[in-house]
Amino acid sequence: MYVIVVYDVSVERVNRVHKLLKTYLFWRQNSVFEGELSKAQLYELKRRLSRIVKDEDSVLIYELPYKNFNLHVIGTDKSPVETIL
């Protein structure tokens, strides 16, 4: 499935969240990651995030069955995701 993760966490935890997400997904821009994950990988990511994130933080995970959406960039695309075949 295709996953988009958007987060707003305390400065004390932002580096830990960023580092964790980087091991699973592609960095798009500040506080946004996306990419393909299996159900098992998504479960593991959620489990690991729940150990870092506190009640005052926010992590949004959009789960799509496949990458079927149009992306419109206004301004600079800071980190375009490229498909490697």
E-assigned strand segments in the chain: 2-8, 26-29, 32-36, 58-64
57 is in an annotated binding site: no
C-alpha distances (whole Å) from 66 to each of 4, 6, 37, 62, 70 are 11, 18, 10, 11, 12
Distance CA 46, CA 42 (A): 6
Residue ranges for the binding site? 8
Residue ranges for the binding site for Mg(2+)? 8
